[in-house]
Amino acid sequence: MSNLKERLYKELELKNSTSVEGISFDPKIFRHLDLGGRYREVIHSCFEMAYETHVGIAFPDGFRSPTGLTYNLRWDRRSPYSLIYDKGRYYLAHQGELIFPVDFLERPDFYGMKTSDGTSMRTIARYNCDGIISIAYSNECSLKESGQDCKFCNINATKETYGEAEGIGWKYPKQIGETVGAAYREGATHLNLTGGFVAERREVEYYLDVADAIREHTGLADFNATAVVGAPHDLTVIDKYKEAGYRTIATNIEVWDRNIFKAICPGKDLQCGGWEHWIRTLEYEVEVFGWGRVRSNIVAGLEPKDSTLEGVEYLASKGVICHAGSWNPNPGSALQGHRTPEPAWHFDLHKKVAAIYRKYGFSYDQLFDSSNNSISIVHDIYRIEDETLPIFQRKVA
């Protein structure tokens, strides 16, 4: 088993590198793939995560390696990594040398369904992996109007780029309820509900209406959803999300250093009581939802590593699972064209974040229930250490 774990960690370094540096390919190679039929296409739920836009060009949503690790597919024609089609198979390659064959992710059935008002469910919810679906009820952020957008964020640019082509628009509670019902009947088990910055009262009322619709269309009192919300001025608002049936809650601070926070997230600073109030909100959320049932996020690479780790450690000590996803300078954001730290920087950070989670006793189930996806490097570290990847079962057999 030790040799297998070493092999998986080595591949995890590769996966991290492809996420940070992207993957190059000629979109024409996917003419050989049943994309949008058997295989899942990219859905622009909130953000464009590729390094360049591709209106009208469909990409696969990701792929799996022979070991069972799942990879994101971020297009970057400058990358030394590439996807190659050869003799009926697709391969991941590095500088033209084949690494391994890949299997693309299969498309869920609900992508081909429509809500009662005729809206395609694929425009309502994005299927991630392992039963997680993510819904961006609003693909725009009101901070744009005041010029206070978070500098790394491209939510408004994504709506402007893909809105007409992909039918991106406001999602109504009934549409969400019907779509979640269809996805859960197909085997989904967790929902992440998020959106752009909206007025506090409007946000909580909307989330309550969505919870009612989900219960109606799933028949579940506990529908295992994460409500992703801003820091409310009135902290007792948090209680309402718990009462409505959300199992977990997320409030993303984005940057730990309070001065960098002000510069990178001016709207979150000026309109939500400042950095200190975001911390108070997260601590209060733990009081309401419980240890390991609150999530935050730091965009890793916008500040020194020690600052990010200080934030992850402090929040973990309070019962908050703070992710530190690798920053990629999204197209359309104010930081487009900047560079994220090198892959080794991010991989070292992921390993240290996983160690912090272990130190404070967070379980994989808590990571899963509070996450918007289950294929992060930290999730994989847990699966390797717990020997829960399918390859471990094959090894035993």
76 and 116 share one domain: no
Residue-range definition of the domain harbouring residue 208: 109-393
144 and 237 share one domain: yes
**Cα dihedral sign, 317-152-235-139:** negative
Structure confidence at residue 202 (pLDDT): 82
Structure confidence at residue 178 (pLDDT): 98
* Residues with pLDDT less than 70, the chain: 1, 199-201, 395-397
94 and 117 share one domain: no
User: Helix 274-289 crosses helix 237-244 at what angle (to 10 degrees)?
Assistant: 40
Q: Which of 104, 126, 157 is the last residue of a domain?
A: 104
CATH of the domain at 229: 3.20.20.70
| Tally of domains within the chain | 2
Q: Are 92 and 99 in contact (CB under 8 A)?
A: yes
Residue type, 354: A
82 and 123 share one domain: no
Q: Which helix (H) or strand (E) holds 178?
A: helix 173-185
Q: Are 377 and 15 in contact (CB under 8 A)?
A: yes
Distance CA 365, CA 233 (A): 30
Q: Are strands 225-228 and 103-104 parallel, antiparallel or unpaired?
A: unpaired
Q: Which of 85, 104, 123 is the last residue of a domain?
A: 104
Q: Which of 41, 69, 104 is the last residue of a domain?
A: 104
Rg (C-alpha) for the chain, rounded Å, is: 20
Q: Are 51 and 111 in contact (CB under 8 A)?
A: no
- Single pTM value for the model: 0.96
181 and 95 share one domain: no
124 and 70 share one domain: no
Distance CA 73, CA 60 (A): 7
Residues with Cβ within 8 Å of 187's Cβ and at least 6 positions away in sequence, in order, are 131
77 and 120 share one domain: no
133 and 170 share one domain: yes
128 and 214 share one domain: yes
355 CA to centre of own chain: 21
133 and 91 share one domain: no
60 and 159 share one domain: no
115 and 97 share one domain: no
